[in-house]
């Protein structure tokens, strides 16, 4: 009981300071290392609720600490992470976060002790790398080199450690297995199908149609005006309400695909997560249905929820790179893009032990510059050819309709795991396709099939 009261007292005190930071002026909000602060605030409340229900939820303690650090409350984050280690000294992510925060505060001896203590619990190459950075900054090149070599023993293809050793005068080559095969651009976006029953083109950027109704409401789909979109046919006035597809209708659509058994596969992909609630629900569904998928994670969110990425990797899913803060790669410089992507790759590798070579440009914004940048790093650019538009309308029946009108054998389907709609329609979708002999594969598997063909 004393333990519970202690943690709740810490959270109450921290929440007061965090609420003040959250309600500050827009310039202060820009300090959040997130591309969508309101979502972050919602998740903060859910994390707080999780800790109230279970004060020993060390993953939630770690995540809240990261949120505080991003809000500029580094001492509060340190306080939480130290408390987390009393809850579970084997939760390895705490050592990286706490050690890095102490180093940032100039408390280097404490940071060194934290990193070394973490290595006593786990041979984490990520901790070895961070300890190497500390030793290098402290002017201990031999100790730094030893740490970077230990890091590479755990992950031979970890480019940051290779670069650090090169700066120290060591000649370490990237393993040849890292660059096997030619980088590919997969998938090509095609607009959702327009029918006489409903309009599938995106309406206006502010989420409202010309009549002023929200895109997600019934009014947006019934008797709405029809503006002309350049380069697209004019929309017809919508005179009938949306009619959901029955399971029988979905089965008929799938049966109409002329595909050999070997070609009956679908790649499900999820963007913008991880989300501390919806991503877990989707992972539960995929596990129950025996399906695998690919998650294109935003680096700042991945760092906040390392336990979710660990689970993704353990359950056989692919993890791809969606930049650190949902950066538009086509509008920003190559150096900004590479910095954002590399930072995200380092976090993915540090959490999962796997190096990432899959990239999905946020917003689907790509051009020759983006392709050249990605392929020059040996990374695959992954787009999609079936768009659920689950961000626009979260009705599961609508999402099912959109997917079924654009999907086909070998499709790469785009969902988002920061919205609830996909999780509500996925079980039925997966079962319908499995009934016709389809399997659900990762993008890495799709690349192997594409290369083999």
* Ranges of each domain in the chain: 2-174, 185-189+243-452
At residue 264, the 3 state secondary structure works out as: coil
Per-residue pLDDT, 196: 39
Task: State the pLDDT at residue 27.
Answer: 33
- Separation between Cα atoms, residue 449 and residue 257, nearest integer Å: 19
Selection from 382, 374, 396, 386 nearest residue 447 by Cα: 382
Listed in sequence order, the residues at least 6 apart from 406 whose beta carbon sits closer than 8 Å to its beta carbon are 190, 192, 193, 385, 386, 387
271 is catalytic: yes
255 CB contacts (<8 Å, ≥6 apart)? 436
One digit per residue, the tens of pLDDT, for the chain of length 453 reads 444 445 554 554 455 444 444 443 333 333 333 344 446 677 888 899 999 999 999 999 999 999 999 889 999 999 999 999 999 999 999 999 999 999 999 999 999 999 999 999 999 999 999 999 999 999 999 999 999 999 999 999 898 999 999 999 998 776 654 445 689 999 876 554 444 344 333 322 333 332 233 333 333 322 233 333 333 343 333 334 678 999 999 999 999 999 999 999 999 999 999 999 999 999 999 999 999 999 999 999 999 999 999 999 999 999 999 999 999 999 999 999 999 999 999 999 999 999 999 999 999 999 999 999 999 999 999 999 999 999 888 899 999 999 999 999 999 999 999 999 999 999 999 999 999 999 999 999 999 998 887
Please give the pLDDT value at position 178. 46
DSSP three-state, residue 442:
coil
Catalytic residue from among 271, 307, 385, 417: 271
Per-residue pLDDT of 208-259, as tens digits, reads: 332 233 333 333 322 233 333 333 343 333 334 678 999 999 999 999 999 9
CATH for the stretch 2-174: 1.25.40.10
Q: Which residues have a Cβ under 8 Å from the Cβ of 54 and sit 6 or more positions away? A: 60
> pLDDT by residue (tens digit) across 103-120?
999 999 999 999 999 999
| CB-side neighbour CA atoms (13 Å) of 189 | 17
Given 199, 416, 417, 419, the catalytic residue: 416
pLDDT at res. 260: 94
Separation CA 233–CA 243 (nearest Å): 23
CATH fold of 185-189+243-452: TIM Barrel (3.20.20)
Give the pLDDT confidence score for residue 210 in this predicted structure.
28
185: helix, strand or coil = strand
Residue (of 381, 446, 443, 433) closest to 407 by Cα position: 433
Instruction: State residue 39's pLDDT score.
Output: 62
Domains 2-174 and 185-189+243-452 share a fold: no
Cα gap 375→395, rounded to integer Å: 37
């Amino acid at each position: 009981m004393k333990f519970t009261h202690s943690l709740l007292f810490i959270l109450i005190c921290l929440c007061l300071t965090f609420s003040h930071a959250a309600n500050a002026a827009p310039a202060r909000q820009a300090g959040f290392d997130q591309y969508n602060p309101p979502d972050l605030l919602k998740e903060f409340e859910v994390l707080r609720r999780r800790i109230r229900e279970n004060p020993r939820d060390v993953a939630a303690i770690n995540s809240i600490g990261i949120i505080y650090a991003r809000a500029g409350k580094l001492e509060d984050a340190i306080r939480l992470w130290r408390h987390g280690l009393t809850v579970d000294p084997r939760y390895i992510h705490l050592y990286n976060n706490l050690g890095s925060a102490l180093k940032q505060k100039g408390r280097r001896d404490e940071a060194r002790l934290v990193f070394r203590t973490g290595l006593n619990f786990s041979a984490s190459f990520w901790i070895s790398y961070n300890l190497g950075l500390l030793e290098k900054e402290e002017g201990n090149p031999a100790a730094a080199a030893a740490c970077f070599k230990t890091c590479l023993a755990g992950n031979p293809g970890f480019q940051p450690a290779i670069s650090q050793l090169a700066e120290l005068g060591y000649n370490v080559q990237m393993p040849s297995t890292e660059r096997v095969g030619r980088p590919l651009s997969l998938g090509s976006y095609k607009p959702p199908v327009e029918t006489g029953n409903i309009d599938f083109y995106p309406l206006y950027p502010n989420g409202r149609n010309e009549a002023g109704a929200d895109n997600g409401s019934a009014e947006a789909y019934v008797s709405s005006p029809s503006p002309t979109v350049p380069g697209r046919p004019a929309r017809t006035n919508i005179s009938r309400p949306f009619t959901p597809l029955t399971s029988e209708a979905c089965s008929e659509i799938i049966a109409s695909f002329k595909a050999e058994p070997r070609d009956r596969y679908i790649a499900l992909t999820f963007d913008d997560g991880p989300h501390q609630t919806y991503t877990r629900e989707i992972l539960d569904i995929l596990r129950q249905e025996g399906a695998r998928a690919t998650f294109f994670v935003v680096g700042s969110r991945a760092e906040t929820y390392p336990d979710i990425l660990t689970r993704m990797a353990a359950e056989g899913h692919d993890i791809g790179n969606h930049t650190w803060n949902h950066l538009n790669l086509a509008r920003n410089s190559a150096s900004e893009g590479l910095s954002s992507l590399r930072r995200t790759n380092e976090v993915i590798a540090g959490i999962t032990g796997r190096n990432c070579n899959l990239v999905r440009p946020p917003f689907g914004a790509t051009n020759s510059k983006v392709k050249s940048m990605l392929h020059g790093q040996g990374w695959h650019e992954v787009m999609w050819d079936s768009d659920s538009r689950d961000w626009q309308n979260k009705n599961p029946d609508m999402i099912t309709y959109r997917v079924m009108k654009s999907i086909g054998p070998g499709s790469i389907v785009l969902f988002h795991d920061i919205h609830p709609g996909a999780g509500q329609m996925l079980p039925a979708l997966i079962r319908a396709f499995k009934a016709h002999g389809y399997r659900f594969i990762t993008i890495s598997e799709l690349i192997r099939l594409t290369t083999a063909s």
